[in-house]
Amino acid sequence: MTDGVFEDPANTREEILAATYRCLRNHGYADLTMQKIGDELEQSPSLVYHHYENKDALVIACLEYLLEHFEGKLGRGRVDDPQDRLEEMLDWWFATDVDNDWHAFLTTVLELRAQAVHDPDYRAHFTRSDRVFKESLAAALRTGIDAGVFQECDPDAVAETLQTVLIGAILRRSSTDADVWLEEVHGELERYLESRVYKN
């Protein structure tokens, strides 16, 4: 879902956000500094400070940019094939043949989410992010119900359930070495959707 987001920055702000994203993937949140972002840009850190007052303001801006991309990619609620949408999301989160960049992205998301425990700005972002993601799932479910291809169910409750499992999967994938459980959990979610959502 982050593919191509920062490939072609349109202005200085996007160049800074792209450098921040790369630094987060390479160094993690704890070791991220304005100096490292400046080095990644091949510019003085003063350029970064000119646009953002501190590291956290910059990281949150980067997260918001990614969230806007996610909303745009999902068409802001328009769903052409609701079952494909759900399957695509599950396949993305539970993919086993992924590269190091993908793992780095998941680890970064978890590390930043942890900041929300004590930081109200991060908490506000992840509250909004969770709402956007949940609404995208619920939109696919409502489309399927309205089209008669899904069973009658509570779209919000199903979306909350799927999202909670997916967030748990991020935590587990980022903090353990083994991922043999991935296919089992993915399979259980598929069976849940088959019994609760999809029409046979």
Query: Which of 30, 1, 47, 125 lies closest to 19, judged by CA?
Result: 47
Q: What is the pLDDT of residue 171?
A: 86
Q: Which band of pLDDT confidence, cut at 50, 70 and 90, is reported for residue 1?
A: low
Closest C-alpha among 90, 96, 95 to residue 197: 90
For residue 62, pLDDT over 70 is answered with: yes
Q: What is the mean pLDDT of residues 69-88?
A: 77
- Assess whether pLDDT exceeds 90 at residue 88: no
Query: Of 95-104, 109-118, 182-191, which gets the smallest average pLDDT?
Result: 95-104
CA angle 39, 116, 157 (to 5 degrees): 125
Domains present along the chain, CATH in parentheses: 1-73 (1.10.357.10), 76-200 (1.10.357.10)
Residue 102 has pLDDT above 60, yes or no: yes
pLDDT(68) > 80? yes
The residue ranking higher by pLDDT, 4 or 93, is 93
